[in-house]
């Protein structure tokens, strides 16, 4: 047997005030679009704001449905919108925030499994890492250098090659 370990480094900030001006602005924009989420069932509103390599920004919010599996997370809404509005342009950074009437928005949340897979697919498609800024309305903020770090043994198109 050969035992191996997977780990990665990420940055932790105590508040938005410690971020660079550009990162703080992107997170504030994610926070500002969060109320636009359609979340009548979970009451868990998620907002995401991306900065593309061309300098443009685009947002996404989660969109629920009474048939729960049919809903779509903010990260996937954002990536779909980016691909539609700016085809062929890679995403540089995504800031993700949330609010809920049932839980405090005072710590970072992480993308779900389906969103992690989608983020990795997008990184692979454009051969460009996507930096993630994760934070609530207040509290600590995590910066992950590339989304693929959140899915260490991810499935990709290479797994489908003969």
pLDDT tens for the 162 residues of the chain, in order: 999 999 999 999 999 999 999 999 999 999 999 999 999 999 999 999 999 999 999 999 999 999 988 999 999 999 999 999 999 999 999 999 999 999 999 999 999 999 999 999 999 999 999 999 999 999 999 999 999 999 998 888 888 988
Catalytic residue among 64, 75, 121, 123: 75
Rounded to whole angstroms, how far apart are CA atoms 22 and 141? Answer: 14
Domain 17-150 has CATH 3.40.50.450: no
* Six token digits for residue 115: 């969103």
Rounded to whole angstroms, how far apart are CA atoms 54 and 145? Answer: 19
**Residues 6+ away with beta carbon under 8 Å from 84:** none
Question: Angle CA(146)–CA(81)–CA(144) in degrees, nearest 5?
Answer: 15
75 annotated active-site:
yes
Spans of all domains in the chain: 17-150
Q: Is the pTM of this model over 0.75?
A: yes
């Amino acid at each position: 047997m050969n035992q191996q370990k997977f780990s990665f480094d990420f940055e932790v900030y105590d508040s938005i005030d410690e971020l660079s001006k550009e990162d703080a602005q992107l997170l504030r924009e994610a926070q500002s679009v969060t109320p636009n989420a359609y979340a009548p069932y979970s009451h868990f509103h998620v907002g995401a704001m991306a900065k593309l390599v061309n300098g443009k920004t685009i947002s996404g919010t989660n969109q629920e449905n009474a048939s729960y599996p049919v809903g779509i997370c903010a990260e996937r809404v954002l990536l779909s919108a980016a691909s539609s509005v700016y085809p062929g342009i890679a995403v540089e950074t995504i800031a993700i925030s949330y609010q809920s009437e049932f839980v405090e928005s005072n710590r970072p949340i992480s993308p779900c499994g389906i969103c992690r897979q989608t983020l990795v697919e997008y990184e692979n498609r454009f051969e460009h890492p996507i930096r993630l800024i994760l934070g609530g309305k207040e509290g600590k903020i995590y910066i992950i250098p590339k989304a693929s770090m959140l899915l260490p043994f991810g499935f990709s198109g290479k797994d489908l090659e003969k």
